[in-house]
Amino acid sequence: MRLKHTWVLYVLVIGIIGFVVYPFKTKDYRKVWDYKSEVIIDNFESSRISENLNSIKSTIELSTKEYTSGEQSLKVLFKGDEKLSGFDITPKKPWVLDKNKKFSLVFDAKSLGNETTFLSINIKNGKGESVKRITNIDKGDFKSYFFEITTDINDIESGLRDTPPAWETDAIHMKINGLLYDIDFSEVSSIAFLRLEGLKDKTFLIDNIRIVESPERDPNYLTGIVDKFGQNAKKDFPIKVHSDQELQNIADKELKSLSEYTLMPDRCEYGGWKDGPQLEATGFFRTEKMNGKWGLVDPDGHLFFSIGLANVRMANSTTYTGIDYTDESLYHRDPEDVTPEDSKGIIDIPMETMKTGHVVNKLRHDMFLELPKLDDPLAKHYSYRKVSHFGPIKHGQTFSFYRSNLERRYGEEYPNSFFDKWLEVTENRMRNWGFTSFGNWIDPAFYHRNNVPYFANGWIIGDFQKVYSGSDYWGPMPDPFDPEFERRVKKSIEVVSEEVKNNPWCIGVFVDNELSWGNESSTKAHYGLVLDGLSKGKDSYLKQQFMTILKTKYQSIKSLNKNWQTNIANWDELENGVNFKNQNEFNEGMVADFSIMLETFATKYFKTVHDVLEEKMPDYMYMGCRFAVWGITEEVRKSAAKFVDVFSYNYYKEGIGEKYWKFLEEVDMPTIIGEYHIGAPDSGLFHSGLVHATDQEDRAKMWADYAYSTIDNPYLVGAHWFQYLDSPITGRAHDGENYNVGFVSNTDIPYPPMIKKAKEVNSSLYLRRFGKLGKNK
């Protein structure tokens, strides 16, 4: 929108050095909302780029061809396959904002060429604290985008990873990357516009970067936002359902089409490449390298590439209702349980307990227009969560809209018949869409249906000693030297083994997920586990192992002090705990020893798991623990390589580039992508996910780009999209994630662009991956 008047608006900024006040003609200015004050960060009207603007592995220049006001904008070429590419704006002194007001960063932008640009913005305050938001910049006309700098307490208390906009605007609401925090931004020290490990070069134009006082928030922006189907009640979108009958009609139409499907013509029973070479058939899945490319081999000896969908289960389909019960026995957890709370399915709640339900979070409870009454047949889809990982609600009643919609779609001929129908439909979809396997975390009910290959999963949880790396997103690490750890590994793998029952359709076993090993962003972050271990006392199993390593190497404390340049009095002082965790600089001697200790730690972990799997499930591949990019180091990778059959990584980016993945050449082991996803804002959900597209068509294209980047990599043997179904619109109970990341919606309706693109990519999967090895080549 543009202002129609011809008067001139001047901006007054007090106490800001290095800041320029720009007059401009408001008839050309893009107005986003009414505002009372504004700080112009840069409108790019100077003859040269500001000295406050710093390029970060990108090409930047002023453009006079397209702009939103004045006569210039900034043209930025983001380099693909770089860890960071973009620019930051850092003034000599911070921009000062009124503490008593709430502000948003606003800018106008458009992508050039035929592709959109996924963008991350990082704003730092005067103390160096930061918050990140993400969006996808559309091609075509300039659009306005806004970043809420000031976080409202209701947004945090909502329990959502991010909320709908709290005011009417045509501007695009950038979404939080991480968690919502209440951070003081009365001083802003820098603003960075970045692409993180982008797959391709992308170019965009940006104009009128400004900080604007946020409008008054609608007090009802979180009230009545969810309808009875678990959909956005205040917004229309392409596959929105309006009645039970409409949902049933959609299901009937899909069932008819699925009944007519056949396997893709080049596939064998297990989904392997029927037209490829005949290799040794062992009766179980294995790996083999042919013509410089790693591949999986199915039980019948056919080359196999594992492309599929992860988290095909009900466990993460529940969301908090804002209700809790008075029955404290619900909080009890069996200490011998091997399943984490977030992997639990629907838990039946006794009716007498249900009657004690009372509102504990009115803000959240008021989000729902309609939840089933206790005597409603759909009340069976209520459940209970004993504990959360993140969010304002620690425990309470949950509801699965997805599961209730399955009952609406398929009816109930006998108790839970809708679930059996879901199993059948899901398998038919996987084969019809051309996927060769499930990913991690599927319902064990699929295990012995023998229709789609799968991966089993185990968790090592229990009351063993813990170690902290300092980047403990999902929690601390187990101390693998604690005998209780090995006992719990055995107990968990025994359960998995019993579930699988020697089934050849099981490809392998993932154990644990995204563990906090540390990362290579700094020496301190790299060796956080070692630093925490050294701070522990004599009762620590890990500390005793470290003491053995150091005493064996140095013989005397004097020798250790000389190499570490420390002044530790004696071995007893070190054994009782020495805290280096507040230190940021470490000499070469310390780092060398830290590396040995970290590798010893990781080796013990992977060896323990490997040995138990070898004993209990010798025919199945050990798929590792699915490393996260924020939790992996060279020592850990080196240790894992000794014991895993396949490396596994969760990689939420635009695709697999070359620079970050260069290490695969050195490791030369089969590797699988355990998780990735892309979301879009036209699904009705309030957050698109960790990587954003502009709409469902763009999302499908980005999915294909990622898929092709894995198929073309000679070391990758598969890639698993996370996840099968969208997150609940009000966030999964575990941590509030409310992302558009499903191939199907919460009404179990497939996204047409995604399905069309999946069939296109998967139909050429094996020819693209292994074409020269085909029987007809």
Cβ(658)–Cβ(714) below 8 Å: no
Going from the N-terminus, what domains does the chain have, and what CATH number goes with each? 8-213 (2.60.120.430), 319-398 (no CATH)
What's the maximum distance between 2 C-alpha atoms anywhere in the chain?
A: 83
At 300 the pLDDT is 98
- 3-class state of residue 199 by DSSP: coil
At 70 the pLDDT is 84
pTM for the model stands at 0.94
CA geometry: angle at 602 spanning 596 and 605, to 5°? 140
Q: Which two tokens stand for residue 425?
A: 């439909």
Q: Give the Cβ contact number of residue 20 at 10 Å.
A: 13
Cβ(58)–Cβ(170) below 8 Å: no
Q: Give the Cβ contact number of residue 266 at 10 Å.
A: 16
φ/ψ bin of 373: left (φ > 0), alpha (ψ from -120 to 50), beta (otherwise): beta
Determine how β-strand 143-148 pairs with β-strand 382-385. Answer: unpaired
**Tokens 């809708």, residue?**
418
Q: Which two tokens stand for residue 559?
A: 């020798």
Say if residue 207 is exposed, middle or buried (CB neighbours under 10 Å; 0-12, 13-18, 19+): buried
Q: How far apart are CA 637 and CA 653, in angstroms?
A: 20
Q: How far apart are CA 288 and CA 209, in angstroms?
A: 53
Q: How far apart are CA 372 and CA 378, in angstroms?
A: 6
**58-61 long-range contacts, CB within 8 A, separation 24+:** 58/85, 58/86, 58/87, 60/87
Say if residue 663 is exposed, middle or buried (CB neighbours under 10 Å; 0-12, 13-18, 19+): middle
CA geometry: angle at 81 spanning 53 and 707, to 5°? 135
Q: What is the CA radius of gyration of the chain?
A: 27
Residue 392 Cα distances to 164, 236, 298, 395, 469, angstroms: 18, 29, 46, 9, 25
Residue 592 Cα distances to 239, 519, 602, 620, angstroms: 57, 16, 16, 36
Of 667, 772, 646, the residue nearest 717 (C-alpha): 646
Alpha helices per DSSP H over 339-471: 351-354, 362-365, 401-410, 417-432
At 774 the pLDDT is 66
At 22 the pLDDT is 30
Q: Give the Cβ contact number of residue 671 at 10 Å.
A: 25
Write the DSSP assignment of 558-617 as a string of letters: HHHHHHHT-----HHHHHH----TT-----HHHHHHHHHHHHHHHHHHHHHHHHHHHHH-
Q: Give the Cβ contact number of residue 423 at 10 Å.
A: 15
Residues of the chain scoring pLDDT < 50: 1-30, 777
Determine how β-strand 621-622 pairs with β-strand 506-511. Answer: parallel
Cβ(308)–Cβ(721) below 8 Å: yes
Residue type, 235: K
At 32 the pLDDT is 56
At 262 the pLDDT is 76
